[in-house]
Amino acid sequence: MGRRVAVLTSGGDAPGMNAAIRAVTRVSISKGWSVFGVRNGFKGLISGTIEQLTTRDVGGIMQRGGTVLGSARCPEFMTVEGRKLAIRNLNQFGVDCVFVIGGNGSQTGNYELNKMGFNGIGIASTIDNDLVGSDITLGVDTALNIALEAIDRLKVTASSHQRAFILEVMGRQCGYLALMSGLAGGAEAITMPEVPTDPEKIAEVVQAAYEHGKSHALIIAAEGADYNAAKLTEFFYANKERLGFSIRSTILGHVQRGGSPSAFDRILACKLGLGAVEAAERGEYSVVVGTIKGEVTTTPLADIVNKTKGIDIEMARLANILD
Ligand code: ATP
């Protein structure tokens, strides 16, 4: 009998997760293995909601955002009892390795499972791009392009009405999406969790833009920054007389997650899926599969848990020069 492996998606959904499920499934089947899909992340491991996947089951999902397996946050998995139940269910299905497609929290859960003796391999997937062990995670490219499209649209309406727009983007405690969308969208200023904000300085930049005759001003705020959209808007309203522009604020929120995955994310998902199955074939467990300098790599989960990847300060400097 061939090997039996399982695949799940966990934490926040990210465009490209479906393409990764498809890749893991089809590469595994090509090796003569049986693949089981777990519903709703670690929650499905605990409830035993596990079904065999065939090549056809993962057909037609590549172009869809979200995850066909479902995802969930599962506090029970943070307990030893919860993970024991999960291992019992996996053993009942004869599964000897689980592929965990997800971000920081999910890979921490994966690590805890490995520490209890069950083999797991992670696939770096989160729109936040905060995972150590991968230069770019699955979903980032699509989310970035959605943010950029929103920026371009906001600029059109902002210019027609001489407005300053504050756009808040996702990213939890990581400023990557804010920084890169701000850079690509030509923002006047960007707030990020990694850099303390001086709101007075941002007000000066907006005021100067008005005085120089700019038709609009755009500020990108990261949701996890000390000055997110709400706080920055409050500050701007208190100073609105001097800013010149009228002020509007938009929170992009979950819109950023829902897109059809970009070509980059689909290709990345194919490569990471293959990398993960090959790691399982080599017996290399308790690792996360990501890309470093364009190469598919494995990094021990022990080296990535409780860490958050920082932003590239050079990019922040560049965004400042180009505003
Ligand atoms: P994203 O950042 O993209 O939203 P994520 O994978 O970081 O995704 P989290 O909500 O942080 O999402 O974590 C997902 C799940 O991982 C949690 O609901 C929980 O089941 C599991 N998990 C997180 N931390 C731990 C831990 N310390 N021990 C065991 N399981 C954990």
Q: What is the pLDDT of residues 175-198, one digit of tens each?
A: 999 999 999 999 999 999 999 999
pLDDT of residue 161: 73
Active site residue 128: yes
pTM > 0.75: yes or no: yes
pLDDT, tens only, 35-56 = 999 999 999 999 999 999 999 9
- Asked if residue 9 lies in contact with residue 37, where contact means CB atoms within 8 angstroms, the answer is no
Q: What is the DSSP string of 65-124?
A: SS-TT-----GGGGSHHHHHHHHHHHHHTT--EEEEEE-HHHHHHHHHHHHTT--EEEEE
CA of 288 to the centre of ligand 1 (A): 14
pLDDT of residue 270: 98
Query: Confidence band (pLDDT; 50, 70, 90) for 239?
Result: confident
Structure tokens at 298: 């494995």
pLDDT of residue 2: 86
Q: How far is CA 250 from the centre of its chain?
A: 20
pLDDT of residue 156: 83
CA of 98 to the centre of ligand 1 (A): 16
Query: Cα(128)–Cα(183) distance, rounded to whole angstroms?
Result: 16
Q: Is the dihedral angle over the CA atoms 159, 318, 192, 133 positive or is it negative?
A: positive
- Asked if residue 74 lies in contact with residue 44, where contact means CB atoms within 8 angstroms, the answer is no
Q: What is the CATH number of domain 4-139+261-303?
A: 3.40.50.450
224 residue type, one letter: G
Bridge partners of residue 290, in order along the sequence: 297
Q: Do domains 4-139+261-303 and 141-258 have the same CATH topology?
A: yes
Task: Write down the residue that tokens 């995972």 correspond to.
Answer: 131
pLDDT surpassing 90 at residue 82 = yes
For the chain, how many residues are written? 323
Q: 3-state class of 229 per DSSP?
A: helix
pLDDT surpassing 90 at residue 57 = yes
- Asked if residue 212 lies in contact with residue 244, where contact means CB atoms within 8 angstroms, the answer is no
Nearest to 70 by CA among 96, 95, 91, 101: 101
Q: Whose CA is nearest to atom 18 of ligand 1?
A: 73
- When pLDDT is averaged across residues 280-293 and rounded to a whole number, the result is 98
pLDDT, tens only, 247-277 = 888 998 888 888 899 999 999 999 999 999 9
- Asked if residue 159 lies in contact with residue 44, where contact means CB atoms within 8 angstroms, the answer is no
Whole-number percent of the chain with pLDDT over 70: 99
Higher pLDDT, 155 or 127: 127
Bridge partners of residue 170, in order along the sequence: none
pLDDT of residue 162: 78
- When pLDDT is averaged across residues 153-176 and rounded to a whole number, the result is 85
pLDDT of residue 79: 98
Catalytic-labelled residue, pool 128, 130, 141, 265 = 128
| Residue 314: partners with Cβ closer than 8 Å, 6 or more residues away | none
pLDDT of residue 31: 97
pLDDT surpassing 80 at residue 100 = yes
CA of 260 to the centre of ligand 1 (A): 24
pLDDT of residue 1: 64
Structure tokens at 107: 């890979």
| Residue 52: partners with Cβ closer than 8 Å, 6 or more residues away | 34, 35, 36, 37
Q: Which among 38, 77, 309 is the best mutation to test ligand 1's pocket, defined by most ligand atoms within 8 Å of the CB?
A: 77
Q: State whether the beta carbon of 182 lies less than 6 angstroms from ligand 1.
A: no
pLDDT surpassing 70 at residue 144 = yes
Q: State whether the beta carbon of 224 lies less than 6 angstroms from ligand 1.
A: no
296 residue type, one letter: V
pLDDT surpassing 70 at residue 225 = yes
CATH 3.40.50.460 fits 141-258, yes or no: yes
Domain ranges of the chain: 4-139+261-303, 141-258
- Asked if residue 86 lies in contact with residue 45, where contact means CB atoms within 8 angstroms, the answer is yes
Q: Is the dihedral angle over the CA atoms 73, 74, 77, 79 positive or is it negative?
A: positive
Strands in 189-191's sheet, in edge-to-edge order, are: 189-191, 217-222, 163-169, 246-251
Q: Give the least confident one: 170-179, 264-273, 286-295.
A: 170-179
| Residue 23: partners with Cβ closer than 8 Å, 6 or more residues away | 269, 270, 271, 272, 273, 274, 277
- Residue 180 sits at the vertex; the CA angle it makes with 178 and 186, to the nearest 5 degrees, is 95
Per-chain mean pLDDT for the chain = 93
